[in-house]
Amino acid sequence: MKISVFVIIISVGAVLGIRHISHTDEHVNNIHRVMPNALKNMFGINAYEWNFLQNPGNLNDASHVYPPKIDLIKSFSQVRHYLDWEKIEPAEGSFTFNPANNGGWNYDAMYLACKQNNIEVLVCLKNCPPWLVKTYPAAQQGGENVPAPYGLDRLKPATYLLQAKAAFQFAARYGYNKNVPAQLVTVNTKPRWTADPVNEVKTGLGLIRYIECDNERDKWWKGKQAQQSAEEYAANLSAFYDGDQGRLSKDAGVKTADPGMQVVMGGLANPDPDFVRRMIDWCKIHRGYRKDGSVDLCFDVINYHFYPNDNQGNSDKQATRGKAPELTEAARVADSFVALADATAHRPEVWVTECGYDLNGHSPQRAIKIGNKTAEETQADWILRSALLFNRHGIKRLFFYQLFDDNPTSTVQYGTSGLTDEHTLKRRPAADYILQTARLTGNYTYTKTINNDPLVDVYQSGLKKMYVLMIPDEQGRSGHFILNLGTANAVIHTLKVGSETMVDHTQKTANGKLDVTVSETPVFIEGI
């Protein structure tokens, strides 16, 4: 669920605009050298089950992946799947996965198709099922309520037992542990109608490695029935993670079912590292320390959301439009989260699971027309530059919001953020750029930045180097940079709207140096 106000409780002494080399930047580079990160990990997308399984020609069939849609989704390296809890547990204690009693979805087929196409999946198990919502007073009922029965102590992990049991069943089925005790796994085997396929108990399918515990649990705009404090969410996560260290029951928690599955904390709407610090402090007190002396955390990955816009430049902090990522707090916020993770013994990865821009000209999160560029082309520039920025600053995975528009005519923020078109099933320029970059440099890792304006990043794969150059602005500026390749020739790779691959041009250098014209659209250059 998106929000109408985006607030950052971070010091305003941020690095705005062009990245300056500083002790912080050197620290980020050190992390990259220790933990190289493939650029393709920055090309994720948010999506729903109907984006995979719904055939426009047969809306009643949700049992098969629709090939044209999976072909489109293959433009991305990873998917964050918004999975409503009610889809797998429509009635308390009654689990269905294939077909799901709520919607008939075949999650087995969906996740298998992703694995077969090398698409990593993060499942975001979110929202309360109706049977749980009904425990709240009528005036406080809502799907985004705190995932626990009304009236229980939110600071106690046992309060979140029902969600922890759902997480166990999901992890037992789709994780990699084939030795989950059979008596702990259950599905509803009752057919919905005559000749309807029935659910079967399955374990260790080996399809999912990452699961996220709900979404934006700091949702202050929804009221206290939906908002959790850092300490309350830590208690929630402790149950979700491993059944509160096994204290709840034998069928509660992700790690109880599959110790190898990674638990991602719910993305924070307000990207404030202090929220995570307080979660860590809660773990110190209530979960203690592991044998190696580290805090027994109840999450494996730190996660927040960031939508680059002009909110920081307005007195009321209300965004009026999207903004080029380098001109926002994006770099500063990423550095603060990475520093927090680096100070933690096990150095959990930091992910950004929502980021994006709208196309509707009235949205406060819109991409703007720049010079001769359309809003779609600006969206493409800013999306790719966001991926490069977050990778430059130590974020390990990035997921854009989202595959299709929520509503193509919407003026509401996040309503027109689609990177592809649902009606034509074609890529928009942003998806073109992602696909082209992944094909050329998906396995390359960031090593350093050698210039600020133009921004010049150096990527490497084995002995191969790739230079990525761009103007970090939104004025339609261009400039020149003398790139010292040390080779007789250079290959210039240029992004092209409507193509699956970049346009390549070979050019001789002058004594190993190349005078490059740089614009706000990144260009990729290698020496040969």
Condensed to tens digits (0 to 9), the pLDDT of residues 197-211 reads 999 999 999 999 999
pLDDT value at residue 11: 31
Residue 19 domain-assigned (yes or no): no
Rounded to the nearest 5°, which phi and psi values hold at 322? Answer: -70, 165
Averaged pLDDT of the chain: 93
Residue 454 domain-assigned (yes or no): no
Residue 156 domain-assigned (yes or no): yes
Residue 497 domain-assigned (yes or no): no
CA distances from residue 30 to 19, 115, 294, 352, 426 in whole angstroms, order as listed: 16, 32, 22, 20, 39
Residue 207 domain-assigned (yes or no): yes
* Number of domains comprising the chain: 1
pLDDT value at residue 2: 52
Contact yes or no for 289/353 (Cβ under 8 A): no
- Helix or strand holding residue 82 (H, E): strand 78-84
Residue 427 domain-assigned (yes or no): no
pLDDT value at residue 184: 98
Contact yes or no for 491/506 (Cβ under 8 A): yes
Q: How many CB atoms lie within 10 A of CB 517?
A: 12
CA distances from residue 314 to 10, 152, 326 in whole angstroms, order as listed: 15, 40, 17
* CA count, 13 A, side-chain hemisphere, 261: 36
3-state secondary structure of 28: helix
Query: E strands, 279-344, where?
Result: 301-305
pLDDT at 304 over 80: yes
Determine the Cα–Cα distance for residues 347 and 339; give it in Å rounded to an integer. Answer: 9
pLDDT value at residue 21: 29
Q: State pTM to two decimals.
A: 0.93
Domain that holds residue 172: 77-269
Contact yes or no for 108/205 (Cβ under 8 A): yes
Token pair, residue 121, equals 């999946």
What is 435-454 written as a DSSP string? HHHHHHHTT-EEEEEEEETT
Condensed to tens digits (0 to 9), the pLDDT of residues 63-115 reads 999 999 999 999 999 999 999 999 999 999 999 999 999 999 999 999 999 99
Condensed to tens digits (0 to 9), the pLDDT of residues 221-239 reads 999 999 999 999 999 999 9
Report DSSP state, residue 151.
T
pLDDT value at residue 58: 85
Condensed to tens digits (0 to 9), the pLDDT of residues 426-472 reads 999 999 999 999 999 999 999 999 999 999 999 999 999 999 999 99
pLDDT value at residue 61: 85
Token pair, residue 51, equals 């984006």
Condensed to tens digits (0 to 9), the pLDDT of residues 21-49 reads 233 333 334 443 347 899 999 999 999 99
3-state secondary structure of 430: helix
Q: How many CB atoms lie within 10 A of CB 470?
A: 23
Residue 449 domain-assigned (yes or no): no
3-state secondary structure of 342: helix
Among residues 498, 500, 504, 510, which one has the least CA distance to residue 525?
504
Residue 435 domain-assigned (yes or no): no
